[in-house]
Structure 1
Amino acid sequence: MVIPTDCSWIWRKILELRPLALQFLTYKVGNGNTFSLRFDPWWRSTCIVHNEADLAIRQSGISSSAKVSTIIVEGVWRLPQISVRSNHLSTTLTHWLSSFDFSELNTSSNDCILWNDHKIGKIKAWHTWDAIRLASFGMNVNTSCLLCAGGLEEVDHLFLTCPFSSYILQGLCRRVHTSIRGNSWLNLLDHWGSIIHPGHHTIVLLVGQVFAYHIWRERNSRMHNKRAFGPSKIVTAICVDVRARICKSRWLDKF
């Protein structure tokens, strides 16, 4: 895809990062019905259209819109029979055939894209951004939690089950007379959002918002500045921020 000339600066910069992002992706072929035969990097992380093998594919008469399933017959790879018209095409085809990975197919599954940098193969927004951004500087990305060094940095772990974050959150919940329920961060937000009393509802959600901000800020401080703050200092900073928002509220004394 050619970068549009009329797009915004930030969108243009994001599109320019595509080659960097590609190195973290693995295209795993299943039934081949999703991946483009020529334009998706399913073959050795490269697009056939950028490879000399594209000449052989086009020579076979296969449509440019064909899917990978075009060369899969009854669950087995079946490369096209090509009438060789030149020595160059013969050499190109021979090289592609010799380097082709005839791995076993599982055509009962769908094609999928795996994010290599993450241990469980799922794409996470901040892992994606950190991996791409740091890769531009030639740096590796650590997916371990920077707050406790004992877990995988997931949303639920970072804000809920991490011992460091959990200690802070429990203290804040005691201050605003609420509890921690649910087994995920989103479930906890739903629980807080269901509080009936409007004043209590507002203050609890505000505390949750400021808590998430400071936990993320502490995480970034440890990653980029190599500076770490203790739980008590973070709690103080959270309370100061919340006070600034509710300085005229009757809930002020709770802090």
Structure 2
Amino acid sequence: MKKHGAKIAWSSIGKPKNEGGLGFKDMGVWNKASIAKHVWFLFSGGEGSMWCQWVKSYLLKGRSFWYVKIPSDPSWVWRKILQLRNIIFPLIKFKIGSGEKVSLWFDNWHPLGSLWSRFGPRIVYDAGLDLNSKVSSIISHGAWSWPFPNSWEIKEWIDSTPPSFKPMDSSQDSPLWCLTGDGDGSFSIQFTWDCWRDKGRKVPWNKLLWGPPFIPRNKCNVRWPYLTWLEYVELAVKSTKGRSLKPVIVKLSFMCTVYHIWIERNGDSWYLLQWNLPSTIMKLAPHSNVGRDMRDVSAPILRVE
């Protein structure tokens, strides 16, 4: 049995079909999106989740999720969750209501992001507040009650707060997921995966290979004009539109041709020798052939017997 290496990179076949791939999902990216959902549950009101309550009681113990260190002997799941904090943190923002559930120093509620990451532990000392303080500690009667500006860190913090950025103490704090399809701030694994994956350009020929054709019960013969390979693809795309018998048969004929060429491209050269085809048939055509006006090219001639 012959052993061959991979003929094409996984990153190419792991793209959607309309981008030239086989529709496989990159499980590494999908796993990251699934882990992000667990993190989202920790901030989006997971009181009804036993896992969230267990994490808050036995792993976090009142500390901020963003600040807790990775223990020396964590479980595999908890280690993976903590290792992804850097890419997840910018995606979870908070709309401040009463401020009772949002960490003052570690959560992403201010336009500057995490105040701890921005200014370090010095600002906690200068503000005279506790490390576990909530945003509610600087809210009084629906307005900001800033610490005394006795350092440049606190002055920058106050100056960087837009006048329109105000708390609404009559409502609850609400987390917002930045990667959303409809902009409502809710989490979606599918959309998060789609944003994180490597994207390719759209291809016009995906429906030639992945459409739902039916097998005709007629003998047919399709005669194609003499063109370059890229022009064949463009002509096939235009000639297989519709659901009548002719475009379906042309589509199946083109698919069979592509399949046999693919077999030859990845195996012995028996077909190429029998059909007297050049070995470079699957290579890209010169740039001079790309963009040729196909309106003057005749459509494939179909004869049904």
TM-score by length of 2: 0.40
The structure that is helix-richer by fraction is 1
Q: Relative contact order (C-alpha < 8 Å, sep 6+): which is higher?
A: 2
TM-score by length of structure 1 reads 0.46
Q: Looking at CA atoms only, which structure, 1 or 2, has the larger radius of gyration?
A: 2
